[in-house]
Structure 1
Amino acid sequence: MSILHKERLLLDIKGAGNPDSLRSIREEEQNRLEAVLSSSPIMEWVEELNELQDALIARALELVMAEMARLGLGAPPVPYAYLLFGSGGRSEQTMSSDQDSGLIYENPANEADAERLSRYFGTFASTAVQYLISIGYPPCEGNVIASNPEWCMPIGDWERKLDGWFADPSWENVRYLLIAADARLVAGDAELAARWTNRFRRDVLGHPVIARRMMENTLRHKALIGVFGQLLKERYGETAGTLDIKYGAYIPMVNVFRLLAVRSGIRETSTIRRIRALEQAGILPSEEALLATEAIALFMQLRMLASERSEDGIRIVNGKLPAAKLKREWKAPLKNALKLCRKLQRQIERELRSRFGGR
């Protein structure tokens, strides 16, 4: 994207007065990006796409504040932070990513204030989610979303929730902790967001059992490469013969570097930045870091190719790549990338089991 085009795009987004206008901008820009996907360096392309998504979401939240004022509810009464999780938190959204979000606001002064703030930010979050649906972001199927009261609370409640997750490392609570590891501020008060993420990072390093449970969760998705180096395709149903790029390639690699970063106290949330930080810290050899960077770039490219359009114009994706879309020149690099992913999974499993025990 040229500097001039970027400046005009940001001005258009800033000047959009309603979600429909933002949706039109999003569709036009994503059509442009789709047309240049095959000829662009993939990670630059992903960065451009995610800058677009961030700008659209930030403007949508400004429109929400304007709507709150129109309803007579005024400006946010206390500082708040709107967080993205999942691919949004990692700055790795595709053209069909859904909403994974949370809202943190400052603690109330008393019980009456608590009810007032709960009503205000409950309305704010619900309006934000609806606006983003209108723009083309479907809600999270797992209900990790700001309109869910469990993900829209004052900072004190958020901290107690973290304490509860650490105290009871069930499979579900560890999944939530892994979600929290990808949290990234997209709008609002940076200090408030940092207070919560700092609490997470401080506590996670002091819980050995959490590290083991995170490993078990991290290794749930295996790389789609067989013992003889063959690509493992889907065997049944409508997707038979396809490659599950999302859960058989991209997610396993994301999970490995998330766990390595969390264990090492690294604060980056994007996978590429985590790899770089691990290399700079001397935790990941330079040669392996280069191979991992190339692997995640290939997985991202193939993941983008798996998206399709639904009837109403919203892109949908199941993460499955039809075999016909896998070019011959990609097969060997894909196999090598998957072998690296499997190697890293085995390394982290051996190391953590040695340190913390378990089968």
Structure 2
Amino acid sequence: MLNPAWEKRLLDIAGAEDLEQLRSIREQEQSRLATELSTSSAEAVVETLNELHDALIAQALKLAENDLARLGLGAPPVPYTYMLYGSGGRFEQTLYSDQDSGLVYADASNEVEDERCRKFFPIFAETVVRNLIRLGYPPCEGSVIASNPEWCLSLRDWEKKIDNWFAEPSWENVRYLLIAADGRPVSGDRNLADRLQDRFYTDMLNRPIIARRMMENTIRHKVLVGVFGQLLTERYGENAGSLDIKYGAYIPMVNAFRLLAIQAGIRETSTLKRINALRKADLLAEEEETEAYEAFSFFLKLRLLATLAVEEGQPGGAGKIPAEHITKELKIPLKKALKAGKKIQRRVQRELQHRFGGR
């Protein structure tokens, strides 16, 4: 059902003429969504929140195009698409996610156009990133960001880069491939993003050994539940007693379902949609789908709640649930969800051992 107030808000974003307007809208909407988190389903809040982020980023791109036109650089010389990676690519951003992005532009038809592209798009990407920082999106600490020349390339150069990552499956290159698997276009020419996906999955079929490397990377983060069902909380330091919901629950399930989806040729980037697609492909039983979907939805909600923590006036991004918040009422559904996460991680590990004789 359409929500007239929300539809109007999206129109307000699309009509915003400066970054101050966009930042004000973001702050207002995020405050509203934060209050809804306790009464609404995690899926509903996450869907609305990511629609908000998409709309804000798309308008920031338009404002950046206007900025470059005023500088005398004109319009984009060829079509482009702005890509989101990480939680943005998976439609799983929190209230305070950072920028994980890239830019792909169409191949130039001649040398003059190529020169214009090489001049325009790096400046454009830097402008977009700077605009988004002003809107409250910090840059990716790992430099997976459109202003990095390695992540702002023509389609031809992007295809070469993906080929090279597959050809040399080092730990770092496999990490980049897993990042690329979560990529989706947020604005621009979707056909360019589809072409990149085509290249990724063609290379995946032609180089099956890469699956082993991906599996080894995938099982690196362990689900924080012990053999006897106990919670494996932080033991030392200022966070003693807290539970790392991001790296001890959320990320292990993201990694597991990403790998299962990649191996099945499923191109969805959302974890929940990957779970649904795996069931439709008969790669998950109905009971497994239900268990995994409920567990991951629960982790999404806990992750959002964890990012609401405020330290010294700044939103917290540690992704940890403080010890005092792990109540008896929370422990029962938390243990159940963690056991579901552990089960899927063991499945991936068994597949590694069965297919490749890995450890």
Q: Same fold (TM over 0.5)?
A: yes
Shift of 1:328: 2.6
Deviations 1:207-239 (A, max 9, x none): 222100000100000000011211011112221
Deviates more, 1:49-58 or 1:104-113: 104-113
Q: Does 1:142 align with 2:142?
A: yes
CA-CA distance at 1:10 after TM superposition: 1.0
Match of 2:51 in 1: 51
Structure 2 residue runs without a partner (length 5+) = none
On the 8 A contact 1:212/1:353 being kept in 2, the answer is no
Q: How far off is 1:311 after superposition? A: 5.2
Range that drifts further, 338-347 or 119-128: 338-347
SS of corresponding position for 1:39: coil
Which deviations, in whole Å up to 9, do the C-alpha atoms of 1:270-296 show, x marking residues without a partner? 000000000011000010100100000
Classify the secondary structure of the residue corresponding to 2:102: strand
Residue matched to 1:123:
123
Structure 2 distance, partners of 1:272, 1:41, is: 14
Matches within 5 A, 1:79-98: 79-98=79-98
1:12 aligns with 2:43: no
Mapped partners of 2:262, 2:7: distance in 1:
36
Q: CA deviation at 1:309?
A: 3.8
Whichever residue aligns with residue 318 of structure 1, its letter is A
Offset of residue 201 of structure 1: 1.3
Match of 1:212 in 2: 212
- 2:270 is matched with 270
1:18-58 deviation line (CA, Å, top 9, x unaligned):
11211110000000111111000111111011111111111
Match of 1:316 in 2: 316
Counterpart AA for 2:20: D
Gaps of 5+ in 1: none
Q: Mapping of 1:208-287 within 5 angstroms?
A: 208-287=208-287
In 2, Cα distance between equivalents of 1:336 and 1:110: 59
Q: Between 349-358 and 60-69, report the one with greater CA deviation.
A: 349-358
Kept in 2, the 8 Å contact 1:245–1:320? The answer is yes
Q: TM-score, normalised by structure 2?
A: 0.97
Aligned twin of 1:190: 190
Report the secondary structure of 2:81's partner residue: strand
Residues 335-344 or 160-169, more deviating: 335-344
CA offset digits 1:231-257 (Å, max 9, x no partner)? 011112221111000000000001110
The answer (yes or no) to whether the contact 1:208–1:356 under 8 Å persists in 2 is no
Q: Which moved more, 1:330-339 or 1:21-30?
A: 330-339
CA deviation after TM superposition for structure 1 residue 327, in Å: 3.8
What's the RMSD between the two structures over aligned residues? Answer: 1.4
Q: Which moved more, 1:252-261 or 1:12-21?
A: 12-21
**Number of residue pairs aligned between Structure 1 and Structure 2:** 358
Distance 2:132 2:301 in 1: 25
The equivalent residue for 2:23 is 23
Structure-2 change in CA distance of 1:245 and 1:28 (3 Å): same
Cα–Cα, structure 1 residues 39 and 355, in superposed 2: closer, same or farther, change >3 Å?
same
